[in-house]
Amino acid sequence: MNDSEKLLESEERIHEFEARIARGEKIEPGDWMPAEYRKQLIRMISQHAHSEIVGMLPEGAWITRAPNLRRKITLLAKVQDEAGHGQYLYHAAETLGATREEMIDALLTGKAKYSSVFNYPSLTWADMGMIGWLVDGAAIMNQTMLAHCSYGPYSRAMVRICTEETFHKKQGMEQVIKYARGTPKQKEMAQDALNRWWWPSLMMFGPHDSNSPNSAQLIRWGVKTKTNDELRQEFINKMVPDLQLLGLEIPDPDLHYDKASGNWVSGEINWDEFWRVLKGDGPCNQERMQARRAAHENGVWVREALNAYAERYEH
Ligand code: 3HC
């Protein structure tokens, strides 16, 4: 086939691929897909998986300091769920041809990203409630959208993950309500946690649509069905009335309600901070990477034992 025939063939194939997505069909691992579609999904799914695994660290630090057995068991269950979500998502990325080694190497060498929200410190027990309600609440908003994603394995992983995230959000909400209606000290702790987690949670939805290099293609190919700003606005509209009902103050002096659109209009996110944390200069980036590198190092013997077993008994 000469170059122009190849070009025509690939244009026809992309046209048919996009027609499949327009019909609402799911693209499965063995189906033909543009190389760029595969590349985008490996990027997005592997970074989603990294976020789940690194996301275990801020909460894991509080398991041994939970105020009672019930809270300890709940937090333990949540952190274990996140580990499972990470495995789910690494597997989904592997269906596209990515290897676990490549993905983990990309994380540990700093080539791959994970959600910047996890580069902030969890300073008090009240953070456990606020992370559950805000961070997992934002994740649910994003992941509910992704459950409609055009790539079969990713959308199906989202259905399972969203079910568990709903428990994560509810347990967080319950804690924040208890603190906001508790002693003055407890309410002060809830407000302090809100002050520190509100803006990093808004950043989870990504840069403004006008500054989102990946969104146009992801929307065109049905990976994203809503834009970064649309989801962020839905999150703000949901969260503001609930938090204000508890007598908590949103740490945004420019926040105001716009009657015409029915939206709570947020002040501007500090995008310098956003990009600075993405580049590795956040409060906990070093600590998070050290923890992941140490875990990987300490796990060498497990991987060697599993590979030896597979060599001996599975070939
Ligand atoms: N943290 C870190 N990086 C971010 C980011 C954030 N909050 N928001 C955007 N970025 C990065 C993107 O990865 C991209 O960089 P890259 O091209 O090198 O990967 C760059 O900033 C530009 O952003 P775009 O908007 O162009 O990127 P996307 O179109 O991929 O949108 C996204 C970003 C909304 C995070 C999208 O990738 C997405 O929906 N990912 C899947 C969901 C996910 O990863 N969620 C993370 C949280 S998981 C979680 O919270 C676990 C829960 O259990 C608590």
Domain segments of the chain as ranges:
14-314
Q: What average pLDDT score do residues 224-242 get?
A: 98
Measure the CA angle with vertex 307, ends 306 and 308; round to 5°.
Answer: 90
Q: What average pLDDT score do residues 130-151 get?
A: 97
- Please check the confidence at residue 7 and state whether its pLDDT lies above 90: no
Mean pLDDT taken over the chain = 96
CB of 113 shorter than 6 A to ligand 1 = yes
What is the distance between the alpha carbons of residues 308 and 315, in angstroms, rounded to a whole number? 11
Please, what is the end-to-end C-alpha distance for the chain in angstroms? 40
Ligand 1 centroid from CA 206, angstroms: 6
What is the distance between the alpha carbons of residues 200 and 129, in angstroms, rounded to a whole number? 15
**Given ligand 1 and candidates 37, 43, 45, 47, which is best to mutate, with the most ligand atoms within 8 Å of its CB?**
47
Residue 280, pLDDT score = 95
Report the nearest-CA residue for atom 39 of ligand 1.
142
Measure the CA angle with vertex 73, ends 130 and 146; round to 5°.
Answer: 55
- Please check the confidence at residue 175 and state whether its pLDDT lies above 80: yes
Q: 53-85, pLDDT tens digit by residue?
A: 999 999 999 999 999 999 999 999 999 999 999
Neighbouring residues of 251: CB distance < 8 A, sequence distance ≥ 6: 194, 195, 198, 199
Burial of 230 (0-12, 13-18, 19+ CB in 10 A): middle
- Please check the confidence at residue 249 and state whether its pLDDT lies above 70: yes
Neighbouring residues of 33: CB distance < 8 A, sequence distance ≥ 6: 17, 27
Provide the percentage of residues in the chain whose pLDDT is more than 70: 97
Q: What average pLDDT score do residues 161-171 get?
A: 95
Q: 89-127, pLDDT tens digit by residue?
A: 999 999 999 999 999 999 999 999 999 999 999 999 999
- Please check the confidence at residue 2 and state whether its pLDDT lies above 80: no
What's domain 14-314's architecture? Up-down Bundle (1.20)
Contacts 24+ apart (CB under 8 A), 98-105: 98/42, 98/46, 103/46, 103/49, 103/50, 104/296
Ligand 1 centroid from CA 235, angstroms: 16
Residue 8, pLDDT score = 60
CB of 55 shorter than 6 A to ligand 1 = yes
What is the distance between the alpha carbons of residues 90 and 53, in angstroms, rounded to a whole number? 10
Q: 269-309, pLDDT tens digit by residue?
A: 999 999 999 999 999 999 999 999 999 999 999 999 999 99
Q: Let me know: does 251 contact 198? Beta carbons within 8 Å.
A: yes
CB of 115 shorter than 6 A to ligand 1 = yes
Atom of ligand 1 nearest to the CA of 45: 41
β-strand partners of 258: 263
| Predicted TM-score of the model (pTM) | 0.95
CA dihedral 297, 300, 301, 307 (to 10 degrees): 170
Q: What average pLDDT score do residues 244-267 get?
A: 98
Confidence bin at 314 (pLDDT 50/70/90): confident
